[in-house]
Amino acid sequence: MPAPPKKRKSPAKKFALYWCTTDDGSEDWFVVAATARQAAKFHEGNLGYDPGDADVELVMHLPPELHTETMWRDGPNGPLDDTAAWASNELLVACGAEIGDVAVGRLGQKMGDVGKAVRLAGRVFRAGSVVETVAAAFGDERARLSVFGGAKRAPFPIWWEWELELTPHLEKRMEDRDFTEVDLRLMLEHASSYRAGVSEGRFTVETRLRGRAWEVVVEPDEVEHLLVVVTAYGVDR
């Protein structure tokens, strides 16, 4: 009687780290998956994109200590998984990455921006940002300064992080000059510098909106810890 045929052993899965992006750039991040197609499907399905929306790039295969023949490990001491998933900080560090925090500001916090930059395999990857996506749509797209060294924007005073209070005068000017509170917050998030104003206790913030230079006049309320926005206007330079 012939011996039964031997069961063919399934080939080992080779899990890898993929960088997944979309045209809007709001949710760009790393996905661990067995194939680029699996990574794209995971990214699109979990974030509400249509099939074909995600662009996927192989960054690196996971090191041997982070996978078995059929599963991958989420960091040196993390759980095993055999499906696609977001890459955790622990996994990225185990792959040799350096992770830096990126300031997202008040509006970014409200919009849920992650605020991370990752240096890995000779490149710097930036987590998707809703705020930067909206700013770019209005023509205010700026070079991103590295959090791993090099030039940075000049520091702002402590009142820069206080909650905003909009004056009635400002609200009238918002209507006259065709900008919204979202536009205002974007201008403050992307401010390049500030200087003492004409009136004592006030400051003029230099920024941009829709590709044009703007100035925002603010007055810190030291008692209530509010940043009172007095007015904002476009300038020709």
**CA 29 – CA 27 distance, rounded (Å):** 6
Strands 226-234 vs 163-166: parallel, antiparallel or unpaired: parallel
From 79-83, 98-102, 149-153, 201-205, the region with the lowest mean pLDDT:
149-153
134-178 per-position pLDDT tens digit:
455 545 444 343 334 443 445 678 888 788 899 999 999 999 999
84-119 per-position pLDDT tens digit:
999 999 999 999 998 876 654 555 555 555 667 788
Q: What is the model's pLDDT at position 34?
A: 95
Specify whether the CB–CB gap between 118 and 125 falls below 8 A: yes
Pairwise pLDDT comparison (191 vs 139), residue with the higher score: 191
What single-letter DSSP state applies at residue 149?
S
| Annotated domain spans of the chain | 16-137, 158-234
Location of structure tokens 């070079």: 143
Consecutive H or E run containing 45 = helix 36-47
Specify whether the CB–CB gap between 135 and 190 falls below 8 A: yes
Cα dihedral 170, 176, 179, 184 in deg (nearest 10): -20
Pairwise pLDDT comparison (132 vs 33), residue with the higher score: 33
Over range 170-196, report the average pLDDT.
88
What is the side-by-side order of every strand in the sheet holding 16-21? 55-61, 16-21, 29-33, 85-86
CATH number of this structure's domain 158-234: 3.30.2310.20
Phi, psi of 2 (to 5 degrees): -70, 145
